[in-house]
Amino acid sequence: MSETLFKVTIDNIVIEVPAGTTILNAARKIGGEVAPPTMCYYSKLEGSGGKCRTCLVEVSKGSEKDPRPMPKLVASCRTTVMDGMEVKNITSERVLTARAGVVEFLLINHPLDCPICDQAGECYLQDLSYEHGADKSRFEFQKRTFKKVDLGDKIQLHMTRCILCYRCVLVANQLTNQREHGILDRGDHAQIATYIQKNLQNDFIGNIIDVCPVGALTDKTFRFKNRVWFTKPVDAHRDCNNPKCCGEVRLWMRGDEVYRVTGRIDEWGEVKDASNGKPGWICNECRFDKKKVSDWVIEGPTNVNRHSVISQGHYVNSVLPQETLPEVLNGRQPKLLMDIHNVSEVNKPNIELSALDRPAHSTDF
Ligand code: SF4
Ligand code: FES
C-alpha cells in the first residue's frame, strides 16, 4: 500500500512528507535555517522533546480542510503536519521574538562560564544564544547554584549549567540496564541527581555526555586537557567486544595524542547511524579506555560542516603557516640549534596530557 503523503509549506518552501511526520522533521528535510533549533528533542531517544520550547513555530494555516491558523505558537518537535498546513519559522516575527524570550529564560540560571567550560565551542546553548538571544540579560536576581558532583570516576555533573532537557535521563532509561539518576524535586529546585551521591556505572552511561546540549555533563578524562577547537576530529573504528557498541567513533586528536573519544555526531547534534543502520551509541570502554592511536583503525578526518569554531581548526583546505625559520636563517647553516625543551620548563615534551587521570594544570605543560 502506498504511503499517504501530506503537502506542507514551511517558510514558503513546499515539501511532501509521510503522514505522522512532525513539523520539525519536515523542516529538517528542507534543511538550513528553515529547521528550527532544538535543545531537548533527540530523534534517537523515544519521548524526547516538548521541554525547552526553542523549536516553537507559527502555524498560519492548520490544514486544507480547516485552514484556521493555530492561535498559539506550537512546539514543532511535538506537532505533526496536516495536509495543506502552512508553517512559518524564520519568516515569522512572532517566532523570532518568542525564541529570543525562550533563550532569555534558558539563560536565567545558566552561568556565564563559557571561558572555563569544556563544552565551549560545541555548546548548543552558546550557539542558540548567539544566533537567537539578546545581547544582555534583564535578570537581576541571584542565579541558583549547585556544587559540582562526581557521577563516578569518569563523568562530572555541573548542575548549575543544566537546562533540564531530560535527554540524559532518557539515555539512561533506554540504553542502559538500570537508570540510576533522574530529575529530583520540582520547579526552581528541580535538579539532575542520583539521590544519594551514587556513581553512574553502567557500560553505556558515557553517552549522556554526548547528548547533553550544554556543559552540565562532561568527560573527566578530557576535562581541562584542551580546547575543542585546538583538537582535530578524526573518524575511526575498532572491533568492540560489546555487541551493543558499534565501535565507530570520533577521535579528538592533537598531534598523535587522542584526547577524547566520542560518538559521531550529525548536523543536528545527534549521534549518527552506524554502518549497521542502528544509532551509533558507543560503550564506556571505547569512550574512556581506548586513548591510543594503535587501539583504532583510522578512517580519515571528520568532515565538519557545522558552522562551529571546530571547523575553524579543521585542516581540510587550510593554508599552511609560513615557515619562518628558513627565512630568518637566510641561507646560513648554524652549527648548533638549541632544543628549548632542555633549558625551559614550558612545553614539557614527555607528558601525555590525555593519560593524566585529572585535569591538566599549568605545571603539566
Ligand atoms: S544534565 Fe544535560 S542532558 Fe541532562 S537534563 Fe541537564 S542539560 Fe539535559
Ligand atoms: S526541541 Fe521542541 S520543545 Fe525542545
What would the mean pLDDT of 173-178 be, rounded to a whole number?
89
SS3 94: helix
Sign (positive/negative) of CA torsion 256, 261, 267, 271? Answer: positive
Please tell me which residue, 308 or 218, carries the higher pLDDT value: 218
DSSP result, 27-86: HHHH-GGGSPP-SS--TTSTT--SSS-TTEEEEEE--SS--PPPSS-EETTT-B--TTEE
40 alpha carbon to ligand 2 midpoint, in Å? 5
pTM of the predicted model as reported, rounded to 2 decimal places: 0.85
User: Contact 217/194 with Cβ under 8 angstroms?
Assistant: no
The pLDDT assigned to 261 comes to: 96
Distance CA 257, CA 296 (A): 12
In 3D space, the residue among 293, 294, 200 whose CA is nearest the CA of residue 252 turns out to be 293
Residues 260, 276 within the same domain: yes
Look at ligand 2, atom 1, and give the residue with the nearest C-alpha: 38
In 3D space, the residue among 234, 226, 179 whose CA is nearest the CA of residue 205 turns out to be 179
78 alpha carbon to ligand 2 midpoint, in Å? 8
Q: What CATH number does residue 10 fall under?
A: 3.10.20.740
Residues 120, 100 within the same domain: no
Residues 89, 53 within the same domain: yes
Cell of residue 44, nine digits: 534517537
The one-letter code for the residue type at 234 is V
Residues 41, 100 within the same domain: yes
CA distances from 261 to 155, 257, 354 (A): 13, 11, 11
pLDDT (tens digit per residue) in 225-238: 988 888 989 999 99
**Domain stops at, among 105, 121, 141:** 105
The pLDDT assigned to 260 comes to: 95
Q: Which ligand is nearest to the CA of 165?
A: 1
pLDDT band at 134 (very low <50, low <70, confident <90, very high): confident
The pLDDT assigned to 316 comes to: 56
**Domain stops at, among 206, 223, 240:** 223
**Domain stops at, among 80, 105, 130:** 105
Residues 159, 123 within the same domain: yes
Q: Which ligand is nearest to the CA of 27?
A: 2
Please tell me which residue, 365 or 211, carries the higher pLDDT value: 211
Residues 177, 151 within the same domain: yes
Residues 242, 291 within the same domain: yes
Query: Any idea which of 111-115, 246-250, 292-296, 339-343 has the lowest mean pLDDT?
Result: 339-343
CA distances from 15 to 3, 27, 159, 283, 327 (A): 15, 9, 40, 38, 58
Residues 10, 56 within the same domain: yes
| Structural domains in the chain (count) | 4
What would the mean pLDDT of 255-279 be, rounded to a whole number?
92
Task: Give residue 346's domain range.
Answer: 325-364
Residue appearing with cell numbers 528535510: 29
